[in-house]
Structures are given as C-alpha cells and as structure tokens.
C-alpha cells in the first residue's frame, strides 16, 4: 500500500472513468464483431483472420489489466500502476500491429468509411496506450520521489 497522503485515483480524476469506458468499449466492439461484422460477405477472409487474433488479448489481457488497475488503484495499491503501464503497452503494441496490417493490406484505402473507422481506432489505441504508460510513470515517480 501507498502512503495515504497520495491517493492514486485522485491524481488523475479522469482515469477511473476511462478505465471503465475503455473496458466497456472493447467488450462491446467484440460483441458487435462476432454478432454482425464477421457475417458480412464483403469482408475478406484474410481480414477476418487478422481480426480474430485480437479478441483474446483485448479482453483477457487489456480489459483484465484495466479492471485490475482500477481495483488496485481504489485500494491505493502500487500494483495498479504496474497494471496501467502493462495495459498501455499492450494497447500500443496491438495498435502498431493493426496499423502495419492495415497499411500493408490496403485496408485504409478500401473506402472513406473504412479509413475513418480504422484510423480512429488505431489513433485512439496509440494515444490512450501512451497516455496510460505516461500516467503510470508519473504516479510512480510521485510516490517514489525520483525520476525513472
């Protein structure tokens, strides 16, 4: 546990909301994908195969880490910072894989709608992942009183 003078979730008031919201969005996206998108005959088999490599890490790694981080941060436990940094790193890694695939396979060029949707998802994943990593290190520096 961390000294009571520092309340981790109070340092970044938006963090609690975004951890929950991101978890809900990821679960909702995959529910939509499996209920609707996967059955769209216009989507190529290679794209479906690529997308099918994401649900497990998104739900069982990123969402799990986000929810664990929330729980631990509520308890003012330093493990929450580790979970935030790991979740952020996973978001960045998976976004970079998706960007590489979308660029190499021309997914961004299929239509304006596909471009907007995919680039938005990729940019938000990169930005939020990097923000989580940054927040984790800022809070870690604050509680250890040193720069890492």
pLDDT at position 1 over 60: no
Q: Return the pLDDT at 3.
A: 59
Per-residue pLDDT tens for 56-110?
Answer: 999 999 999 999 999 999 998 999 999 999 999 999 999 999 999 999 999 899 8
43: phi then psi, degrees, rounded to nearest 5: -90, 130
Question: Considering the entire predicted model, what is its pTM?
Answer: 0.88
Report the interhelical angle of 15-35 vs 64-74 (nearest 10°). 160
**CA-CA distance, 28 to 33, in Å (whole number)?**
8
């Amino acid at each position: 546990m961390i000294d009571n003078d520092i309340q981790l979730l109070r340092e970044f008031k938006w963090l609690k909301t975004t951890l929950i919201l991101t978890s809900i969005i990821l679960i909702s996206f995959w529910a939509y994908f499996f209920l609707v998108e996967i059955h769209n005959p216009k989507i190529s088999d290679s794209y479906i195969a690529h997308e099918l490599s994401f649900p497990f890490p998104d739900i069982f790694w990123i969402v799990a880490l986000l929810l664990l981080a929330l729980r631990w941060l509520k308890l003012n436990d330093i493990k929450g910072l580790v979970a935030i940094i790991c979740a952020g790193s996973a978001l960045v890694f998976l976004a970079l894989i998706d960007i590489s695939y979308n660029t190499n396979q021309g997914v961004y060029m299929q239509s304006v709608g596909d471009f907007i949707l995919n680039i938005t998802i990729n940019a938000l994943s990169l930005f939020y992942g990097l923000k989580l990593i940054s927040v984790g290190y800022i809070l870690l520096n604050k509680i250890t009183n040193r720069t890492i």
